[in-house]
A and B are shown apart, each in its own frame.
Chain A
Amino acid sequence: DAGVTQSPTHLIKTRGQQVTLRCSPKSGHDTVSWYQQALGQGPQFIFQYYEEEERQRGNFPDRFSGHQFPNYSSELNVNALLLGDSALYLCASSWGDEQYFGPGTRLTVT
């Protein structure tokens, strides 16, 4: 059984550009959450998707948006990239209470 997968693994973008990150949940999971982890910090919640709807959102600006597809996979989009958006972006999937994380996408904004 494949766990949570994310693509790409690494990404380098320039300030002002837009980026799309992708996540495939663990088999049987219908809920996907996205987190941002700065170096040396714990992950910060961005938002959660369930049944193709954003169910809850953390304290992130509207530049951060997402989507969930009928097969439960998800995308995270970030517009107008800032240097401060450089971080590890983690996707987590769940069906019950336990959340399972993917390996993350390392985004570097130069």
Chain B
Amino acid sequence: KQEVTQIPAALSVPEGENLVLNCSFTDSAIYNLQWFRQDPGKGLTSLLLIQSSQREQTSGRLNASLDKSSGRSTLYIAASQPGDSATYLCAVVDTGRRALTFGSGTRLQVQP
């Protein structure tokens, strides 16, 4: 059974810092991996989707990498801003399946 872990559970940084959020998964037979952002009490906003054949994806100040063989992904946020404060969730779709399996998220607070 696939399990997804996100470390750290919470993170507080001053504005302007570059930061890395970590995601690990136990079964490397994944089809793709998706990073989401969730504001308190709200739905999920898709940030980046990485197919299993890809190593990284970039969108603006965000860069996500995938190392399938070691079961790890990282989300890099450059020049963090207070508006980046949210919970960031990592989720994988296993090969042959269709459901997203989520981690518990990293709660990020960027201090002005």
Q: Are A90 and B44 in contact (CB under 8 A)?
A: yes
B63 located at the interface, meaning its Cβ lies under 8 Å from any Cβ of chain A in the complex: no
Interface of A is mostly: strand
B41 located at the interface, meaning its Cβ lies under 8 Å from any Cβ of chain A in the complex: yes
One of B32, B46, B93, B97 near A101 (C-beta < 8 A): B46
Q: A1-16: which have CB < 8 Å to B?
A: 4, 6
- A105 to B: closest C-beta gap in Å: 10
Q: Contact residue range for chain B?
A: 20 to 34
Q: Are A97 and B51 in contact (CB under 8 A)?
A: yes
List chain B residues, Cβ under 8 A from A95: none
A-facing mask of B31-49, CB < 8 A → 1, else 0?
1101010000111111001
Q: Determine which residue in B31, B98, B105 has the highest number of CB atoms from chain A within 10 A of its CB, and name it.
A: B98
One of B41, B99, B102, B105 near A106 (C-beta < 8 A): B41
Q: Are A42 and B103 in contact (CB under 8 A)?
A: yes
B101 located at the interface, meaning its Cβ lies under 8 Å from any Cβ of chain A in the complex: yes
Q: A76-110: which have CB < 8 Å to B?
A: 88, 90, 92, 97-104, 106
One of A58, A90, A97 near B99 (C-beta < 8 A): A58
Q: List 13 A-B contacts (CB under 8 A).
A: A6-B43, A35-B100, A41-B104, A42-B89, A42-B91, A42-B103, A43-B102, A48-B99, A90-B43, A97-B31, A98-B49, A101-B44, A106-B41
